[in-house]
Amino acid sequence: MTTSSPPTAMAERPRLLLHNFITVDQCKELEFIHRSCGVMGYRPGVLSTTLSHLIATNCPHLILPFVSIRNRIKDLAEDFFSCHFDLFLEFTGLISWCKGASIGWHSDDNRPYLKQRDFAAVCYLNSHGKDFKGGVFHFKDGEPASIFPVVGDVLIYTADSRNIHSVDEVTEGERLTLTLWFTRDSAHDEDAKLISLLSQRLLNNEDNHSDPFLPVPASDNMYWFPHGHDQLGFDVRCARVHILGYNFCSTSKNKCETSDSSCEELLARPLQLSRGDVILGEEFANSLHALQVLPSLL
Ligand SMILES: O=C(O)CCC(=O)C(=O)O
Ligand SMILES: [Fe+2]
């Protein structure tokens, strides 16, 4: 089912909301990737997983679930905006908006370094009212005026001043999206950059023979989620594993230690998982590896 506006309104404010464009299973798969790999994002209270981050942390195989979804949304945007040329993906990222996150009125090309952005697509991977509260999307003018995110829905719009929009503060839970920007400018083609990163990584792996399937954590501060004042906050990896009912513990000491000063060191080393007093048998190369495997143990 499609929600769109009459032709004149459409020319003034080109935008489209499509329901059920991606399946709930696809949304869950992307959510799982984000839960195991997400790092601090581009705004306060926002976590993100970009494709270049997946390559840099040795997880290029996790790009596969994005491929068909990206292509379908690109075809949709080319059709809807009647492009007589191929668009390029400029950015692809899973973005979660935690409690307190919001964004005021803006267009998506509103900075000199964002001028290449022509179109935006936001896929909602979870639902307002069920998974989070707040986080409603609004267009400043025209219809539809407000969008209440529903899992599987996709919203596309031009990145220019015809589509000024905002997102209300998230007041509970975590709001998750797959956000894409498209450009006409081949100099900003994300795929060309990803291919170059992939080939560099292959060359490096040839040199150091590292295991091609084990994730490498990003630097610790990328996982540090500031919360409140006075250096308060938490490590996103610990938070994820806690939510699933587990703790990280050191393999050497067979002792759980997630909250002391050695936590950051522990998270980058081989470790095990515990649940209450019970230590699970599996050993993991590091915290990200555990987070990637944990859903299959549940
Ligand atoms: O997540 C959304 O609904 C829109 C986000 C947004 O406006 C942005 O990232 O620029
Ligand atoms: Fe935006």
The answer to whether the CB of 157 is under 6 A from ligand 1 is no
What's the CA-to-centroid distance between 93 and ligand 1, angstroms?
Answer: 11
DSSP collapsed to 3 states, 122-144: EEECCCECCCEEECCEEECCCCC
- For the segment 40-91, what is each residue's pLDDT rounded down to a tens digit? 988 889 999 999 999 999 999 999 999 999 999 999 999 999 988 889 999 9
Mean pLDDT of the chain: 90
Q: Residue 279: give the domain boundaries.
A: 220-297
- Cα gap 298→14, rounded to integer Å: 44
What's the CA-to-centroid distance between 118 and ligand 2, angstroms?
Answer: 12
Contact between 40 and 225 (Cβ < 8 Å)? yes
Among the ranges given (132-141, 179-188, 250-259, 269-278), the one the predictor scored with the smallest mean pLDDT: 250-259
The answer to whether the CB of 177 is under 6 A from ligand 1 is yes
- Provide the pLDDT for residue 257: 52
Please give the number of the atom of ligand 1 that sits closest to the Cα of 149.
Answer: 3
22 and 169 inside one domain: yes
Contact between 224 and 235 (Cβ < 8 Å)? yes
CATH number of the domain at 95, please.
2.60.120.620
| Whole-complex ipTM | 0.99
Among residues 148, 178, 205, the one where a domain terminates is: 205
Task: Answer yes or no: is 288 within a domain.
Answer: yes
> What mean pLDDT comes out for the span 214-243?
87
pLDDT above 90 for 220: no
79 and 176 inside one domain: yes
Q: How confident is the model at residue 203 (pLDDT cuts 50, 70, 90)?
A: confident
Question: With pLDDT > 90 as the criterion, what percentage of the chain qualifies?
Answer: 72
Task: Answer yes or no: is 212 within a domain.
Answer: no
Please give the number of the atom of ligand 1 that sits closest to the Cα of 97.
Answer: 1
What's the CA-to-centroid distance between 177 and ligand 1, angstroms?
Answer: 8
Task: Answer yes or no: is 78 within a domain.
Answer: yes
94 and 175 inside one domain: yes
73 and 112 inside one domain: yes
Q: How many domains does one find in the chain? A: 2
247 and 136 inside one domain: no
Q: Is the pLDDT higher at 82 or at 136?
A: 136
Q: How many CB atoms lie within 10 A of CB 213?
A: 12
Q: 73-94 b/e with 16+ CB inside 10 Å = b?
A: bbebbbebbeeeeebbbbbbbb
Ligand that lies nearest to the alpha carbon of residue 46, given by its number in the listed order: 1
- Cα gap 136→175, rounded to integer Å: 10
Please give the number of the atom of ligand 1 that sits closest to the Cα of 165.
Answer: 7
**Ligand 1 atom 8, closest CA:** 108
Please give the number of the atom of ligand 1 that sits closest to the Cα of 135.
Answer: 3
267 and 154 inside one domain: no
42 and 173 inside one domain: yes
